[in-house]
Structure 1
Amino acid sequence: MELSQMLRRAVQVNGCGIATIEGGNRRTWAEEGDRVARLAAGLAAQGVSEGDRVAILAGNCVHYWEALFALFQLGAVAVPLNTRLTRAELAYQLDDAGAIMLLAGAGFGDMAQALRCTTLRTLIGLEDQQLDATIENLIASSEPRTAFVMGDDRLAGIYYTGGTTGLPKGVMLSHRNLVAMASNLIMHLKVDCRSVVLHSAPMFHLADFAIFVATMVAGTHVVIPRFDDETMLKAIADARVTHSFTVPLMIDRIARHPRLTEFDISSLQVLGYGGAPMPRGTYEHARATLPQIEFCQGFGMTEMPAHTFLDMEAHRDPSDSPRLRSAGQAGYLYEVRICDAEGRTLPPGEFGEIAGRGDNVMMGYWNKPDESAAVLHDGWMFTGDAGFMDEQGNVTITDRFKDMIVTGGENVWTIEVENVVSRYPGVLECAVIGLPDERWGERVHAILGLAPDADFDAAAFDVYCRDRLAGYKRPRSVEVVREPLPRSGAGKILKRDLRATRQNVN
């Protein structure tokens, strides 16, 4: 199955149903199917053809979704760009992908003009901008175009990684990869044509897989312009949202919103999360505050999206359940195993590298065969994440290998320490990193983000940790911050940034 089939089916089976909600604007699947077909024709008239790379630089909007499916209909390749990047970073990715066109959203017109010096030939505005054309003009001036029919092994998108260990790498995902991802999510999140799905992650990131999920089931997309707790709560209440997949940070903010009870969120059935671990303290508070909502966790990476799932039943276990501390089991038709340094499968309970196999595993890195070969072996994706598996196939992620702390010859998994620290009174968010230490090689350093009215007693915190952590795991230095910790577009705390600015902290 290729991606444009999702839209054709949605138009056929639910043409009169609401496809998109954005503010006060609502369109049916029949209307959206027509608009996407016209936009595909308009983009073709601007020179886009099969295999061309077309970049998108925009905040979340229905136009973004329409543009993606128009590109899929043409057999073109979408290149979503992180809106937080600098001009130099964007120029690198555009040149690396060889993008011929940039679709720019509101607020990005000047940046688009500045990027003309790259491989770009055409600039299209998603909103009313002074560029070469706008999406609405292309739709209005074009007749519907029949979708290009192709195999599902064709390249659909190039999604650039964050570049934590050098220049960003373009992850190549095929139509089959993205369909497999969506199919698994639909089954695990219990989504169908009656579902109203809130886009609560940036559309440039695979964390916003509502793009594919709601389309495949012919449900309803609800698009909001920004991601803060109040905007989400208002959208859930106004549009009667049933499902949303977001990051633990946003779930925590929703659960702690001072006016939570003023919003009618009784329609919300499922809150999925991923992109970062859910600290125990965060989950316990959310579970207590939102008892009527089911939770589901997905673990994956851009190269292998949404690979394991911790289902809703598991989230009903007591908060200290070992299963609840895991990332769940392999998704349907996926495999997962734990490997030693030589790639051999380890038995249950032993630590090693997590590897996965399935139709969601990337084609490789764009124009980087050596880097692709380093992580892809016989269909298996070696993730760089460390963990172990229990007898029932539940995978517990202990850390990224690069985030593991080696102190006095002992390995410390930062997630284990964070799960303890996050439950300390007044802690809203936390990060544990390793810092250089003359005696121990590295020491465990805790960075605590506290509630505005919280007091912190270092001695009491130390006693708390002594009671719950082995001596070598206990934070040997603690830092209290009042500003939010730095995060990626997917909501992950950027530990590399924290380490880089604290290497000389004593």
Structure 2
Amino acid sequence: MQENRYALEDSRARFLLVDENFVEQARQLATQLPALERIIHIGQGPAPADMPGYEQLIEQHPAIPDSGRADNDLYVIFYTGGITGHLKGVTMSHQAICFSALSYLGMLTHTRHLRHIYVPGFFHFAAASPVWYITLSGGTHIVLPKFEMQSFMLGVSQHRATNTVLVPTMINMLMTHPDFNQYDLSSLKTCIYGGSPMPEALMRRAIELLPDWQFRQIYGMTETGGFATMLHWEDHTPDGIRIKSAGQPAPGVSVRIVDTKGAPVAANVLGEISIRSTALMDSYLKSPDSTQAVLYDGWMHTGDAGYLDDQGFLFVADRYKDMIVSGGENVYSVEVERVLYLHPAVQEAAVIGVPHQQWGESVHALVVLRQGSQADAQELMRFFREHIAGYKVPRSIDFQDQPLPTTPVGKIRKNVIRDQFLDHLGKN
């Protein structure tokens, strides 16, 4: 709830549209945000007495003139952890979004009669991008109320979906579902995935069990319009090297690797991934210093490390920042740690990503309590849920009474903590 409040307050939102799942939260937010003029109900069934219904408002009011916004005018603000992990509003122009949609269509083999079934939430570019390029192609939108594998399989089968976006863990969940063989999924031709490369064993199994599907990996971030490169289906050869890459730049997108001074490096040399295109964000809302730190000379400096081979295929090697990729969602450890430090019982805290069979990585916290204070994992979990989104909440919390290991300058040594966790995991 606090993240929603921050986004609404930071963007100076005047209207809020909610369905039945967020009615109570919206009422609470309305008491805290005086700039919020109206809450509009867009859910199923009749609207609550204190909220006008969206369809009713449309029926009762005449059409309004086109506002004439276009080109570099502000179109949308996405809130993301950004490069630093602090929640920021990524501002995108009409021109950037239109370019993004056209570039995405340019990467697809089939662009007619598309029927896209949505899995990720619309707060994420993984769902927002198809809204634009599927609409631009004259396609059909199949919207699920929430992600649940049974409803996804049913939706593909009943509505003959042709396109979707999944993360590798979801593909694995699909193929291991007990009812997997009870649904006809053959209509689906294009499966975009991201968040992490497709493990080779999983790719081989997907080719065998989903022979009608063509997989395409994308790499990018909110600040780059949600994507920058694509690994096409024909490069998904399980025994080849390219399946380990994130593909080549999309139409109209330039990717280069730079050293610590910002100078381009040669092919196969590791450095920071930088991206240039019309789809780049304009800025972080009301954060000029943060914007200038990552967006300069026309390039977005991603904070990710990687290299380009001599054919222009991008290989993402590691992250400069401590970021955890859980189920395709980026979780910045510093963001979770900030919440822990808000709890009065917490003296020290470190958050790391640890292996997870289903989600790739899960969020794990190591906590040192203040002397004389008490708190258990359940209490901290409840505290987390009041402050951050559910997918960022640690799935496991360990406590210790000794100070966390640090460098000579006092920085917590997360690599040591991670190694100790994996060593303990290996012994059990």
The one-letter code of the counterpart of 2:138 is A
Question: What pairs with 1:72-111 in structure 2 (closer than 5 Å)?
Answer: 86=1, 88-111=2-25
- Structure 1 partner of 2:122: 203
The one-letter code of the counterpart of 1:158 is I
Which of 341, 357, 362 is 1:449 aligned to? 357
- Return closer, same or farther for 1:492/1:300 CA change in 2, 3 Å cut-off: farther
Which of 169, 193, 197 is 1:273 aligned to? 193
Question: What pairs with 1:333-372 in structure 2 (closer than 5 Å)?
Answer: 333-372=252-291
Which of 202, 221, 228 is 1:307 aligned to? 228
- Return closer, same or farther for 1:260/1:111 CA change in 2, 3 Å cut-off: same
Question: What pairs with 1:413-424 in structure 2 (closer than 5 Å)?
Answer: none
Question: What pairs with 1:379-418 in structure 2 (closer than 5 Å)?
Answer: 379-403=298-322
Q: What is the distance in 2 between the residues matched to 1:499 and 1:267?
A: 39
SS in 2 for 1:402: coil
SS in 2 for 1:235: helix
- Structure 2 partner of 1:181: 100
Deviation at 1:149, TM superposition (A): 2.0
- Return closer, same or farther for 1:164/1:397 CA change in 2, 3 Å cut-off: closer
SS in 2 for 1:158: strand
* 5+ residue gaps, structure 2: 334-351, 360-383, 400-416
User: Percent of counterpart pairs with the same letter?
Assistant: 32
The one-letter code of the counterpart of 1:120 is L
- Structure 2 partner of 1:192: 111
The one-letter code of the counterpart of 1:308 is T
Q: What is the distance in 1 between the residues matched to 2:37 and 2:61?
A: 20
- Structure 1 partner of 2:218: 298
Residue 223 (str. 1) matches residue 143 (str. 2): yes
Q: Contact between 1:245 and 1:271, CA under 8 Å: does it hold in 2?
A: yes
Deviation at 1:211, TM superposition (A): 0.9
Q: What is the distance in 2 between the residues matched to 1:307 and 1:211?
A: 18
Q: Contact between 2:197 and 2:244, CA under 8 Å: does it hold in 1?
A: no
* 5+ residue gaps, structure 1: 1-85, 405-413, 419-430, 434-443, 452-485
Residue 121 (str. 1) matches residue 45 (str. 2): no
The one-letter code of the counterpart of 2:234 is E
Q: Contact between 1:109 and 1:129, CA under 8 Å: does it hold in 2?
A: no
Q: What is the distance in 2 between the residues matched to 1:385 and 1:144?
A: 46
Deviation by residue 1:221-255 (Cα, 9 ceiling, x = unmatched): 11111112211110000001111122222111112
Deviation by residue 1:124-154 (Cα, 9 ceiling, x = unmatched): 1112332331101111112233432233211
The one-letter code of the counterpart of 1:337 is R
Deviation at 1:165, TM superposition (A): 4.2
- Return closer, same or farther for 1:344/1:165 CA change in 2, 3 Å cut-off: closer
Residue 261 (str. 1) matches residue 178 (str. 2): no
SS in 2 for 1:252: helix
TM-score computed with the length of structure 2 as normaliser:
0.74
Q: What is the distance in 1 between the residues matched to 2:139 and 2:157?
A: 17
Q: What is the distance in 2 between the residues matched to 1:386 and 1:108?
A: 39
Deviation at 1:343, TM superposition (A): 0.5
Q: What is the distance in 2 between the residues matched to 1:344 and 1:164?
A: 20
Q: Contact between 2:273 and 2:305, CA under 8 Å: does it hold in 1?
A: yes
Deviation at 1:493, TM superposition (A): 8.3
Deviation at 1:285, TM superposition (A): 2.1
Q: What is the distance in 1 between the residues matched to 2:141 and 2:201?
A: 31
Tell me how large the CA RMSD over aligned residues is: 3.0
Deviation by residue 1:271-316 (Cα, 9 ceiling, x = unmatched): 111133323333222222112211111111000021101012112x
Q: What is the distance in 2 between the residues matched to 1:224 and 1:371?
A: 36
Which of 220, 229, 248 is 1:329 aligned to? 248
Q: What is the distance in 2 between the residues matched to 1:282 and 1:313?
A: 17
- Return closer, same or farther for 1:97/1:173 CA change in 2, 3 Å cut-off: same
Q: What is the distance in 1 between the residues matched to 2:23 and 2:353?
A: 42
- Structure 2 partner of 1:375: 294
Q: Contact between 1:354 and 1:387, CA under 8 Å: does it hold in 2?
A: yes
Q: Contact between 2:308 and 2:314, CA under 8 Å: does it hold in 1?
A: yes
Which of 219, 243, 253 is 2:163 aligned to? 243
TM-score computed with the length of structure 1 as normaliser:
0.63
Q: What is the distance in 1 between the residues matched to 2:55 and 2:390?
A: 35
Q: Contact between 1:189 and 1:272, CA under 8 Å: does it hold in 2?
A: no
Q: What is the distance in 2 between the residues matched to 1:501 and 1:158?
A: 36
Q: What is the distance in 2 between the residues matched to 1:497 and 1:382?
A: 28
SS in 2 for 1:120: coil
Q: What is the distance in 2 between the residues matched to 1:389 and 1:501?
A: 39
Deviation by residue 1:144-179 (Cα, 9 ceiling, x = unmatched): 334322332111111011368453010001111111
The one-letter code of the counterpart of 2:317 is T
